[in-house]
Structure 1
Amino acid sequence: MATWVSILVPTLVYGAQSIEDGPAIESSYIRYFHEQHDSELSYADALENIKTQGQHSQSDILNFGLGSAPVWISFELHNAKATALRYLQIENSWLDKISVFFLHQGQLVQQTETGDSLPYDAQRSNRFFSFPHEFMQGATTVLIRIESDDPQVLPLFLYTPQEFTDRQVESGYTYGIIYGFLIALLIYNALLFFSLKSRRYLYYSFYLTSFIFLNAAYTGHGYQWLWSDWPQVQNTIIPVLMIMFALSGLVFASMFLALPSRFPRLDKSFNIFSFVLAVCLILFLLLDNLLCLLYTAFIGVVPFAVLMIIAGSVACFQGVKEAPYFLGAAVFAVISAVITAFTVSGLVEYNSLGFHAVEYGILLEAVLFALALAYQFRISQDEKVLAQRLADRDQLTGLYNRRGFNKLMKPIFSNAIRNNRNLCLMILDIDYFKKINDEHGHAHGDIVLLDLARALSKELRAGDLVARWGGEEFLLLLPETKHAEAIAIAERLVTTFSNHEVTTNQHTTQYTVSIGISELKRGNANFSDLLGSADHYLYQAKENGRNRVCYRVD
C-alpha cells in the first residue's frame, strides 16, 4: 500500500548514496537505533532519535539476531537526474512487520506496510519484500522499521527495473534447478521404497521432504506458493521444519547405519536427543512461545550436527563399508546447516555464501547420500548372492551340498534324457572313516575330508559336478560320459587315493575309497533311480572288501 502526504520532517546529514552506485546499500550510509518493546514511535520521532542516538552500521548487511527489539534504520539516496524508478528490496522472507517511509527533501511521499504477519499480498512481486519507488531529483531519505522475533537479517539492495527483472529470472532458474533435482531424487527414493520395501529409502524420502519444505519456507517460496493465506503458519513454520529436519535426519541415520544393532549406546543418545527435541517442539507450540521455539531450533542444530558426524565417524572406525559416504554427506550438510543457522541468527558475520550455505550443502549431501544408498544396496545384493552361494556349498570342503547339487543337476539330467545323451553317476565313500575319527579325532577327520575334496576338484574334468552328499559320501555327476569312461575315471581315483597320505603335526593317515557307478538307461529315467543304482553298487564295493569300484556288468 502507498500513501502520499506532505508532512515536513528534519532531513539527515550523514551523507547520501547515489541511486546509480549499484544495488548494494553501503553500510557507511546506514544508521539505526533500537526502539523500546513497549512503545512504537512515529516515523518523525524515529528520525529524530536516529539523528541523536543512531549508530553507524559496521557491516554491509545488518543482522540483529533472534528476538531483537524493533529496529529503525535510515539512509539517504541521491538522484542527480530526472525522476527514476528503483526497487528497494530486503532480501529476507521471514520478517513479521515492515514499515517503509520515503521522504523527499523532508517531506513524506510514500509509506508501505508489509511483513509475513499479514496474508501474502498479491501485489508483492516476489518472495522477498520489494518496494518500488519513483525517486525524484535530489535526496530521498529512506526510513525502515523492522519488528520480528525471527532473526533480523536485513540485506538491502536497490535495483533498476532491468536489474530487478534479471534478479527474478536468475533466482527462478537457480531454484528451479535446486527444487527439480531434490524432487526428482525424492520421487526416485520413494519408488525404490515401494519396489524394494526397504525402510531406509522411506526414511531418506522423509528427510528430503523435510528439507524441501524447510528450504521453501526459508527462501519464501512456501509463503508465496503454498500457505500464502495463513500467516500464522508462516510465523512458526521455519523453526518447526528445522526441528523436523533434524528429527528425520536422526531417524534416517539410525536406520542407514543400523545403530540399534551395531552401536546401541550411540542409538540411545540419538533417541534421547530426538525425544527432547520433540518435547520442546510440542511444548512451545502449545504455549505459543515463538522465541523459545526459535532458540530450540537454532541451538538444536549444534548437537544434531555433532551426533550425525559422530555416528558417521564411529561407523567408519568400525569398518562399516558404506559409512564413508554417510560421513562425507553428514559433514557437508551439517556444517553448511550450522553455518546458515549461525549466519541468520547473527552469531557470525553475514555474507551471501553463509546465508545460502545450507542449500549448497544439501545438494552435495543429497548426491553423497544417494551414492551411499546405492553402495549400500550393492553391498546388500552382494551379501545376498554370497549367502545364496554359501547356502549351496558345504561349509567345510567348499564343494556343493545337496541343495547346490540338485539345483545344478536338474538341467543337466533333463538335457541328457531329452537328447538321449550319455550320463553317469558315481557315489564315493571313504573307507573306515569312523575309525579315522575315533583314533585321531574329528579335527583330523575334517582334514581328510578337505584333502579328498581338493583331490576330486583337481582330478575331475570341466563340466563334471561334484558334491559332498553327507558325512564321508561324495557324489560325482559325469555328463557326456559313457559307462566305460566313467569306470576308467573311477579306477584312477581309487588308485590315486590308495597311494595317498594325509600328514598333520601329530598324525599321518593313508585312506582308501570305494565307488559305485550307475549309467543313465531307459529303465532309470529319473534321478532317484540313478542314485539308487549307484548306491547299490557302492554297497557291493564295500561288501567285496572296499578300496574298489563296482558297477553293472553287461
Structure 2
Amino acid sequence: MNHKNSARLLTFLLALLVSFFGYPQPIIDLTDTPELTAGEYTRYLQENNDEKLTLAQAIAAFNSSEVRLGKHQSISLGISVAPVWLKTRLLNSTTNDENYRISVETPWLDVIEAWIVYQGRVIQQVSGGDAVAFEQRPMQYRYFAFEAELPKGESQLYLRVESVGPMAIPLRIATTELAVKRDISSSYQYGFLYGIMVALALYNLILFFSVRLPEYGLYALYLIGFVINSLSYTGQLHTWITPDFGPYFQDWLDIFLMITYSIAGLHFARKLLQTKQYAPILDRATIVVTLVIPAGMVIGFIFNQLTFALFLAFLLNTTFAVLFILLGLQALKHRIAAARLFLICSVTAATCICISTAAVAGFVPYNDVTFKLIEVGMAFEAICLAFLLAQRFRSAEADKQMAEKTARLDSLTGLNNRRGFAHAAQPIWFQEIRNGRDVSVVLIDIDHFKRINDGFGHSKGDEVLKAVAAVLKRGARRSDIIARWGGEEFLILLPETSEAQATQHAERLRQQIEKIELTSPGGAIKFTASFGVCGTIDGMFSKTKLRDDDLETIINVADEALYQVKASGRNQVKAATQQHVRQSRSKVKV
C-alpha cells in the first residue's frame, strides 16, 4: 500500500471516530503552557432557566455529546442568557504540586461557582462574583479569581456562571507568579491610557473656564466620563468605592456611566463641527438620541428591567459611534476645517468601540485585544480631538490678535490710530527716559484740508491723506512710531532723537509733502503741511529730567508749536519754546 492510500485510510478512520464520539476535549498541559486564556480548551453547556444543575448533574451532562467546545480564547454568549457551565481539563505533569491562579476577567458577572475535581472527588470549591460581598470573595479583587494548588496529574475545573449582564467569560489560568506580573503590566497599561485622557481633560477644563467656549468643557466631560465608565466596567471603580452595594449594582452603574460620556461626546461633536449651521436635521437627530435613549434607560431602571436597559445602553453605544462618523462626514462635505482629522479619529475610535462592544455581546471573539481596544481607540481619539481644539484655540487667539491689531490701526492709511499709538509708544517712552536718551515728537497738520474735500470731493481728500501717510512711512526708521492723530493730523514719536534732529527731519518731510501732486478731473491737487516739534533740549526738557507722564506734555507742547505755525502762515516747521513747555506743564498739573 502506498503512502497516498495510507493517508486516505487514516483520514477515513478519523472521520468515522469523530462521527461516533465527537471531538475529544483537549487538555491543557500547564507545564508547557503556564499562562493562557482557556476558551479554546473549554467545553460548555447552558442550563434551562427553570432548573439549576448540581455539580453531579453537570458532570453527567458533560459526558454526553450535547456540549460545545469554545472556538475562541474567551466564551461570549450574549446578554441575559441562561446560566452556563464550563469544564476545562488541566494537566500538571511535574512531580510537585503547583500553585495557579484561576480567574474570570469579567467584573460584572453576578454569581460564579468553581470546583476543582481530582480523581473523582472535589478538592476545592469557591464562590464569588458581583453578587457576593467583597470580603466573602475568594480573592478581594476586581473580578472573580482564586488560587489553587493543583496536584500532579489531571484535574478538572468546573465553573457555573450566572449573570443578567453580558455573558463574556474569559477564563484565565496562570501560575501565581505570571498572574502577578500580568496584573502589574495591566495596571501600567491602564494607568498610561487613563493618564493621557485625564491630563487632556483637565487641561481643556482649565481652558473652558478661561475662554468659556462650550466645546472645551464638553470635551473634558466626555473624557472624564469615559475614564470613569472604563474604571467601572473593568471593576476598578467597583472595587474601590462600591464593593458591597449588592448584586446588579455594577451592571446599573456601568450602563448609566455610558450615558455620561456618550451624551457629552455627541454634544461636543455638534459644537466642534457646528452642525446646526449646515446640517440641522442631523443636529436635531443627535439631540433626540441624547434624550430618548437615556430616558428609556431611566424607565428601565425605575421598573427594574435590567435587560431592557442593557439593550438600550448597547444601542446608545452603537448609535454614538455611528453619529460621530455621520457628523464627521457632513462636516467634510461642507468643508469644515476640522472635519478630516475628526473623521479619521472618530472612525478609528468607533471601530474600536464597536469591536469591544461586539466582543462583550458575544458577536466577535472576546480577548485581551478586543476588550481593551475601546481604551486604545478612545486614547487615540482624545489626542486627535485635543489637537483639533488646540488648533481652534490658536485660531481664536490669532483672530483675537488680528482684531486687536485692527482696532489699533487706521483703516484708511494703515497707520496707528490713537489707541495704537499709545500701545506702541508707551513702552518705548519709558525705556528712553529711564536710559536717559533723547526723544522727540512731531505733530503734522495738512493745510486747508477742508478746501480739498469741498473742492475735489472726499475721495480725493482720502487720497491726500494716504499720500501724506506714504511720505511719513518712507521717511521713518524702524523704531519710529507714526499715527494718524485725528482728521488731517499725524503724529510721529522719534526715539533717540533730540529736538534739533527732529526739526531737521520734519523739514525734510515738509519739503517732500510740498512736492506731491495728485491728478483729478478738476485739475492738479497740490497741498502743504504744517509741523510742530517738541523734544529733549537743554532746559526743562533735558533728557535726564524727563518724567513718566511727560509724553502727554511733549505732545501738547508740539501742538502749541503747530498752532503758532498755523497762525503765522502755515507750511512751516516750528520747534517748541520754553514758554510753550511751561504753559503745557501747567495745564497738565491743573
Seen in structure 2, the aligned counterparts of structure 1 residues 329 and 493 have a Cα distance that, compared at 3 Å, is: same
Aligned mates of 1:135, 1:199 — CA distance in 2: 58
Read off the aligned partner of 2:29 and give its amino acid letter. Answer: I
Seen in structure 2, the aligned counterparts of structure 1 residues 539 and 339 have a Cα distance that, compared at 3 Å, is: same
Q: Tell me how far 1:443 sits from its aligned partner.
A: 4.6
Q: Tell me how far 1:400 sits from its aligned partner.
A: 0.8
1:173 is aligned, of 184, 188, 193, to 188
1:53 is aligned, of 66, 70, 76, to 66
Contact 2:39 2:171 in 1 (8 A): no
Match of 2:529, SS? strand
Contact 1:86 1:159 in 2 (8 A): yes
Read off the aligned partner of 1:117 and give its amino acid letter. Answer: A
- State the match for 1:454 in structure 2: 470
Read off the aligned partner of 2:180 and give its amino acid letter. Answer: T
Aligned mates of 1:407, 1:274 — CA distance in 2: 49
- State the match for 1:38 in structure 2: 50
Q: Tell me how far 1:172 sits from its aligned partner.
A: 3.3
Residue 361 (structure 1) aligned with residue 371 (structure 2)? no
Q: Tell me how far 1:134 sits from its aligned partner.
A: 3.8
Aligned mates of 2:404, 2:439 — CA distance in 1: 28
Within a 5 Å distance, the mapping from 1:486-505 to structure 2 comes to 486-502=502-518
Within a 5 Å distance, the mapping from 1:143-542 to structure 2 comes to 143-190=158-205, 200-231=215-246, 232-257=248-273, 267-312=283-328, 326-412=342-428, 422-434=438-450, 436-437=452-453, 442-502=458-518, 510-520=525-535, 526-539=550-563, 541=565
Moved more, 103-112 or 280-289: 103-112
Read off the aligned partner of 2:87 and give its amino acid letter. Answer: S
Contact 1:399 1:466 in 2 (8 A): yes
Seen in structure 2, the aligned counterparts of structure 1 residues 275 and 469 have a Cα distance that, compared at 3 Å, is: same
Aligned mates of 1:144, 1:34 — CA distance in 2: 11
Q: Structure 1: give runs of 5+ residues left out of the alignment.
A: 1-11
Read off the aligned partner of 1:17 and give its amino acid letter. Answer: I
- Corresponding residue pairs, total: 543
Seen in structure 2, the aligned counterparts of structure 1 residues 52 and 395 have a Cα distance that, compared at 3 Å, is: same
Contact 1:428 1:513 in 2 (8 A): no
Match of 1:14, SS? coil
Contact 2:39 2:170 in 1 (8 A): no
Contact 2:561 2:574 in 1 (8 A): yes
Moved more, 400-409 or 535-544: 535-544
1:99 is aligned, of 113, 125, 136, to 113
Moved more, 99-108 or 390-399: 99-108
Q: Tell me how far 1:17 sits from its aligned partner.
A: 0.1
- State the match for 2:28 in structure 1: 18
Q: Tell me how far 1:431 sits from its aligned partner.
A: 4.2
Contact 1:79 1:135 in 2 (8 A): yes
Read off the aligned partner of 2:320 and give its amino acid letter. Answer: F
Moved more, 48-57 or 324-333: 324-333
- Deviation per CA, 1:520-554: give whole Å up to 9, x if none: 47678845554444445545555666555455689
Aligned mates of 2:333, 2:466 — CA distance in 1: 36
Q: Tell me how far 1:116 sits from its aligned partner.
A: 0.8
Seen in structure 2, the aligned counterparts of structure 1 residues 123 and 74 have a Cα distance that, compared at 3 Å, is: closer
Within a 5 Å distance, the mapping from 1:60-75 to structure 2 comes to 60-75=73-88
Contact 2:471 2:512 in 1 (8 A): no
Read off the aligned partner of 1:160 and give its amino acid letter. Answer: T
Contact 1:425 1:518 in 2 (8 A): yes
Match of 1:356, SS? helix
Read off the aligned partner of 1:517 and give its amino acid letter. Answer: G
Q: Tell me how far 1:359 sits from its aligned partner.
A: 1.7
Aligned mates of 1:433, 1:309 — CA distance in 2: 62
Contact 2:25 2:43 in 1 (8 A): no
Q: Tell me how far 1:515 sits from its aligned partner.
A: 1.7
Residue 111 (structure 1) aligned with residue 121 (structure 2)? no
Match of 1:486, SS? helix
State percent identity of aligned pairs: 33
Seen in structure 2, the aligned counterparts of structure 1 residues 227 and 393 have a Cα distance that, compared at 3 Å, is: same
Read off the aligned partner of 1:15 and give its amino acid letter. Answer: Q
1:90 is aligned, of 99, 104, 122, to 104
Q: Tell me how far 1:246 sits from its aligned partner.
A: 0.7
Seen in structure 2, the aligned counterparts of structure 1 residues 185 and 417 have a Cα distance that, compared at 3 Å, is: closer
Aligned mates of 1:161, 1:527 — CA distance in 2: 81
| Two-structure CA RMSD over aligned residues (Å) | 3.7
Moved more, 297-306 or 37-46: 37-46
Q: Tell me how far 1:447 sits from its aligned partner.
A: 4.1
Moved more, 404-413 or 300-309: 404-413
Read off the aligned partner of 1:18 and give its amino acid letter. Answer: I
Aligned mates of 1:508, 1:17 — CA distance in 2: 108
Seen in structure 2, the aligned counterparts of structure 1 residues 441 and 290 have a Cα distance that, compared at 3 Å, is: farther
Contact 1:16 1:77 in 2 (8 A): no
Contact 2:352 2:373 in 1 (8 A): yes
Aligned mates of 1:468, 1:333 — CA distance in 2: 55
Aligned mates of 1:422, 1:110 — CA distance in 2: 96
Contact 1:426 1:515 in 2 (8 A): no
- Deviation per CA, 1:80-121: give whole Å up to 9, x if none: 555544333222222122222333344444433322122224
- Deviation per CA, 1:342-394: give whole Å up to 9, x if none: 22112333343221101212333333344444444433433333333222221
Q: Structure 2: give runs of 5+ residues left out of the alignment.
A: 1-21, 579-590
Match of 2:304, SS? coil
- Deviation per CA, 1:448-487: give whole Å up to 9, x if none: 4333323311112333221011222211233443444334
Aligned mates of 1:171, 1:414 — CA distance in 2: 60
Aligned mates of 1:552, 1:15 — CA distance in 2: 109
Seen in structure 2, the aligned counterparts of structure 1 residues 336 and 446 have a Cα distance that, compared at 3 Å, is: farther
Seen in structure 2, the aligned counterparts of structure 1 residues 37 and 421 have a Cα distance that, compared at 3 Å, is: same
Contact 2:531 2:571 in 1 (8 A): no
